[in-house]
Amino acid sequence: MDHLTPQPRRRDPRAKSPSESSSDELAAVSAHEEAERRRASWTKGITPQRPKKSGRLYSGSESPDELAVDADEYWRSSRTRNRHRNQSPINRTDSHDDHSQGGAEGHPEDDTVDTDEEQAHDAHNWSDRSATPVAPTLPPKPDHLNYKEKFVMRGHLRGVSAVQFSPDCSMIASAGADAAVKVWDTATGRLIHTFEGHLAGISTLVWAPNGEWIATGSDDKTIRFWNVNTLKAHTKVFDGHHNYVYQIAFTPKGNILVSGSYDEAVFMWDVRRAQVMRSLPAHSDPVAGIDVVHDGTLIVSCALDGLIRIWDTHSGQCLRTLVMEDNPPATCVKFSPNGKYVLAWTLDGCIRMWSYVESRVVKTFQGHVNQKYSLSGCFGTYGPRDVNYQPPLCFAVSGSEDGSILFWDIVSKQVLQRLDAHSDPVLCVHTGTLNGKRLVVSCGLDKTVRLWEEASEDDAVSNGEANEEGLGEGASTPTPKSHSQDNTPALDADGDDAMTDAMPSAAATPAEDVTMT
Amino acid sequence: MNLSLVDPFVLAQEYPDTLTEKLSSGHATCLSFNHKGDYLASGRVDGTVVIFDIETNGVARKLQGHTRQIQSLSWSRDGRYLLTSSQDWKCILWDLKDGSRVRTVRFEAPVYIAELHPFNHLLFVASLFEDQPVLVDISSPKPVKRILPSAPLRASGEDLDPAAAAKQAAQDAKHSTCVTIFTAFGNHIIAGTSKGWINIIETQTCTTIHSMRLCNGVVILLHLASNGRDLLVNSSDRVIRTVLMPDLSQLGINLEPSAIKLQVEHKFQDVVNRLSWNHVTFSSTGEFVTATTFMNPDIYVWERSHGSLVKILEGPREELGVVEWHPSRPMVVACGLETGCIYTWSIVSPQKWSALAPDFGEVEENVEYMEAEDEFDVHPAEQVHQRRLDQEDEEPDAVTLELVKGDGDADGVEPFSLPVLLNVEDSDSGEDVVAVGPGTMRRRTPGAAKEGVNGDEKPAANGTSRGAARRRR
């Protein structure tokens, strides 16, 4: 019934909430404040505050309390609709006419005025919510990025499904359908080590936060750990899923690993014991994407039924469900670096940025091709480091099935750069920073891992479209000789045809790993 | 980040109500949360210290070094160092980064309680069994011990007649300090004596600046609330007292030592059954007082504004010893005296089913649904899509972190993260002690020789602990 309302649901600040809930809320707040004041009067600077208490935001303006939202918003949204009907039915029909008849009505002025008003009202609403002040005079934002190819890392025998920088970005780990995990040196592009042990293609790879371990999830239904320092596999195998492991993510402390699988389950693993400590049962389709927010309190998962669910790590309860009306299969989710938004890849060729607190889409990024594979991407920053833009300049990056990598500005949704990167679909992209250089690493079905480096500002000015040059440079990059290019026909990233029909692979690149400057 | 999504009524609940977990690794006798509240250290009767990860309820680290029952645990502010004291007459400072011992300090007597200075992890106070309490500086490998006075400060100046003075001196000599803790800034030490006196001792000079007679019994336990101004005193006269402290950091500025006054705020006691209290603690904010009772499996929770009993936590069928409150969450842990298991009480919030289905809402009563005029209008999909895209005109900030007030880093402590050891269970050798009855344990692994040793040793250790506790009363 909801799919006809063109606007996303909003809380109208002017709408009244039911009296009983508001009075309750007030009472709670005043009691809380009372206690707070009492405590503050005893307290001298040093006193550790109770985080839960002080962080409790429901009395503030920004985050509504959930009870009120659930019950109130539901009816408020209908009220909003009523208001529209009551106040401006003409306006509504006019705007329809506007589209169909090209504005051949008798009162075009009225029409425009009305719409302007509505837009202004909208804008007011928006600005109420997003607490970003208007930036003072700053140099104009760069309108393009200039990443150039640095290295092409060859060695995988089949498609590469996952790639990620180590936490300090000194190394790159990649894994793919050949069931091998390869670790590369970021500075030189050389192969450091190859871990072998999985019995089937690897779909997902993630570094432990301390940079000592790499965890990989595979179609052999297991998750394995590989030690980068000792170059040995962990003796314990994380065995418990009944089907392919699709994507995994660590909590920031590295004590919990969250995995999503083709068996429709989300497992939380106690990393130390290699045992499932909790199962989150709520998806009814393969769980394709998993991510953990930077402070570890929330988990996001998405499944091929199109549902994106936000979970409380501590209690294991579902706190929110996000869904688009026509349920395009969701194949990957990433929290933004500050954890306020969730980036979700769907197979309708869109990447949507959700504000999960308000359950609405903030931005939709388009321009890439995504109909078949689980593409994965990342957030990153750009622009001069010495200028403090408000909000900071941030891009979303993703691969595309046409072999390119796209960077979108998250405010304007403009494509900042389109790299002709790979000759086959680009499955995974991850951002990082090494020695002050912003880097992007990508991998794809063409069996290569490619490292891209942001060129300096001067280069950016001299050649805006630097893709061809970038590729030219890339031709001279060292390629490890330990693995000859072999002739295995490229099937898909996972290495089994069964999955080609669905979404073959996913990759994990937790957004909180992004090195922000 | 989850606060904006969690049910505010669950957040508003301030004390736990249900038994949720049972942690077990050996026979635990004392417990302590680190300041951040993500790890729980437990000391066992066999001298092993086990650190639990509260998030996974798994063992994060085991520290082996003591040979007798652990008496107390004290975390450094950043959570990197842990001071343990034991009945084997030793205190050990552990570095949790690699599990190594930074310092081992030997005493001439078993240690009751040792507590680290709140800001300096190389300084601690220890109260000893039938010996004088000491302030120990371990900044150099050779520890420097300074003896703290136990005798209360008498009003001096006017001349007493010699007989009274002699009597007083004799009385003073009978004082022995049972518990010593630091104040919030660590400038002073609060000591409780066997005669029911509270002494405030200046850390710098090791001299008593204030004394007060609080009760007739032995002061068993002192506990300072997180605000540093409320003191909780458990004494052997079966009364728990909360005491309001003056702001000792103002000493010499706005406050003279002579003006120090300790004011008893509440007395909690069981008037009917005259229960005595095994262990007491404040809640994270200090608004609640929690106690375990002697010969009784219940945990009492009082609130402090009126001093009324608000909750009795039930669950296990055994007497509970040490009880601790999580530093930020409404969560209580206590260890059973018989089995040595660690029980956890917290709040279980029900799953809101409306969170699972976004197009449903939970309403308290029936509401007549008003269908909107345009509710079933069909718009072309592209138009809807385009309109939606056009509305995405805000400027989201996906990078800047919002600092939550009181997030721990406020006091400039470098956060320390305990390394995640993937093979901690492999080094485990203590899981095999199981209780077979009250106060008796045996090893789980069959082995006649081991069993004999153990059968002799374990009850003995337990017996001494009971004995010590009784003597302190």
Contact assignment for A4 to B376 by CB distance below 8 Å: yes
Q: Is the pLDDT of residue A487 over 50?
A: no
How many CB atoms within 10 Å of residue A442? 28
Tell me, what's the pLDDT at B352? 82
Residue type, A104: A
pLDDT above 70 covers a percentage of chain A that reads: 62
Tell me, what's the pLDDT at B315? 77
- A261-300 pLDDT, tens digit each: 999 999 999 999 888 999 988 788 999 999 999 989 999 9
Q: What is the mean pLDDT of residues A367-373?
A: 91
Chain B partners of A322 at a C-beta cutoff of 8 Å?
358
- The alpha-carbon gap from B63 to the nearest alpha carbon of chain A, in Å, equals 16
Number of Cβ pairs closer than 8 Å across A and B?
298
CB contact residues (below 8 A), chain A span 109-128, against chain B: 122-123, 126-127
CB contact residues (below 8 A), chain A span 375-414, against chain B: 379, 381, 390-392, 394, 410-411, 413
pLDDT above 90 covers a percentage of chain A that reads: 46
SS3 B162: helix
B434 CB within 8 Å of a chain A CB? no
Contact assignment for B247 to A294 by CB distance below 8 Å: no
Contact assignment for A364 to B8 by CB distance below 8 Å: no
Q: pLDDT confidence of A89, banded at 50, 70, 90?
A: very low
The Cα B98–Cα A338 span in angstroms is: 31
| Average pLDDT across chain A, whole number | 72
State the first-to-last Cα distance of chain B, in angstroms, to the nearest integer.
47
Tell me, what's the pLDDT at B404? 58
Task: Pick the more confident residue, A23 or A428.
Answer: A428
Chain A partners of B1 at a C-beta cutoff of 8 Å?
293-295, 297-298, 339-340
Tell me, what's the pLDDT at B102? 92
DSSP state of A127: H
Task: Pick the more confident residue, B424 or A115.
Answer: B424
A22: left (phi over 0), alpha (psi -120 to 50) or beta: alpha
Lowest mean pLDDT among A30-34, A500-504, B313-317, B430-434: A500-504
Query: What is the third-level CATH fold of A147-477?
Result: Methylamine Dehydrogenase; Chain H (2.130.10)
Q: What is the mean pLDDT of residues A428-449?
A: 92
Per-domain boundaries in chain A: 59-131, 147-477
Q: Is the pLDDT of residue A29 over 70?
A: no
Query: DSSP characters for B305-372?
Result: TT--EEEEE---SS-EEEEEE-SSSS-EEEEETTT--EEEEE--PPP-GGGT-TT----SS-------
- Give Cα separations from B5 to A21, A330, B117 (angstroms): 17, 22, 38
- The alpha-carbon gap from B123 to the nearest alpha carbon of chain A, in Å, equals 19
Q: pLDDT confidence of A243, banded at 50, 70, 90?
A: very high
CB B445 within 8 A of CB B430: no
Tell me, what's the pLDDT at B363? 80
SS3 A450: strand
B97 CB within 8 Å of a chain A CB? no
The radius of gyration of chain A's CA atoms, rounded to the nearest angstrom, is 25
Nearest to residue B53, comparing CAs of A224, A296, A300, A337?
A: A296
B18 CB within 8 Å of a chain A CB? no
Q: What is the mean pLDDT of residues A391-408?
A: 91
B324: left (phi over 0), alpha (psi -120 to 50) or beta: beta
Q: Which candidate in B231, B373, B389, B422 is best for mutational testing of the A interface (most A CBs within 10 A)?
A: B422
Tell me, what's the pLDDT at B422? 80
Contact assignment for A338 to B56 by CB distance below 8 Å: no
Chain A partners of B408 at a C-beta cutoff of 8 Å?
48, 51
Run of H or E including A193: strand A191-196
DSSP state of A72: I
Contact assignment for A49 to B405 by CB distance below 8 Å: yes
| ipTM associated with this complex | 0.81
Chain B partners of A293 at a C-beta cutoff of 8 Å?
1
Residues in chain B with pLDDT values less than 50: 406-410, 426-436, 439-440, 443-473
B395 CB within 8 Å of a chain A CB? yes
Contact assignment for A52 to B408 by CB distance below 8 Å: no
The Cα A396–Cα A511 span in angstroms is: 10
Nearest CA in chain A to B359: A2
B170 CB within 8 Å of a chain A CB? no
Provide the CB-side half-sphere exposure for A43 (13 A, CA). 17
Tell me, what's the pLDDT at B465? 41
Pick from A35, A84, A255: CB nearest B53: A255
Q: B261: burial class by Cβ within 10 Å (0-12, 13-18, 19+)?
A: exposed
CB contact residues (below 8 A), chain A span 158-197, against chain B: none
SS3 B8: helix
Q: Is the pLDDT of residue A44 over 70?
A: no
The Cα A95–Cα B413 span in angstroms is: 59
CB B49 within 8 A of CB B32: no
Run of H or E including A459: helix A457-462
B376 CB within 8 Å of a chain A CB? yes
Contact assignment for A54 to B404 by CB distance below 8 Å: yes
Chain B partners of A60 at a C-beta cutoff of 8 Å?
none
B423 CB within 8 Å of a chain A CB? yes
In sign, the C-alpha dihedral spanning B215, B336, A317, A398 is positive
Pick from B285, B363, B377: CB nearest A39: B285
How many CB atoms within 10 Å of residue B374? 15
The Cα A507–Cα A163 span in angstroms is: 7
DSSP state of A391: S
Tell me, what's the pLDDT at B356? 85
Nearest CA in chain A to B54: A314
- The alpha-carbon gap from B203 to the nearest alpha carbon of chain A, in Å, equals 18
- The alpha-carbon gap from B460 to the nearest alpha carbon of chain A, in Å, equals 33
CB contact residues (below 8 A), chain B span 27-86, against chain A: 35, 38, 53, 55-60
The Cα B21–Cα B10 span in angstroms is: 19
DSSP alpha helix (H) spans, B221-301: none
Q: What is the mean pLDDT of residues A59-81?
A: 43
Q: Are strands A238-239 and A415-420 parallel, antiparallel or unpaired?
A: unpaired
Pick from A4, A314, A379: CB nearest B374: A4
Pick from A4, A32, A255: CB nearest B420: A255
In sign, the C-alpha dihedral spanning A125, A130, A135, A139 is negative
Q: Which phi and psi angles does B88 have, rounded to 5°?
A: -85, 20
DSSP state of A248: E
B155 CB within 8 Å of a chain A CB? no
Contact assignment for A99 to B422 by CB distance below 8 Å: no
CB contact residues (below 8 A), chain A span 278-297, against chain B: 282, 293-297
Angle at B450 between CA B447 and CA B456, to 5 degrees: 135
The Cα A290–Cα A308 span in angstroms is: 10
Pick from A71, A310, A318: CB nearest B363: A71
- The alpha-carbon gap from A325 to the nearest alpha carbon of chain B, in Å, equals 10
Tell me, what's the pLDDT at A364? 92
- Tokens coding A288: 């394709």
Instruction: Give the length of chain A.
Output: 517
**All residues at 6 or more sequence positions from B426 whose CB lies less than 8 Å from its CB, including other chains:** none
Lowest mean pLDDT among A73-82, A194-203, A491-500: A491-500
A39 CB within 8 Å of a chain B CB? yes
How many CB atoms within 10 Å of residue A504? 28
Contact assignment for B406 to A361 by CB distance below 8 Å: no
Pick from A65, A210, A361: CB nearest B419: A210
Tell me, what's the pLDDT at A134? 52
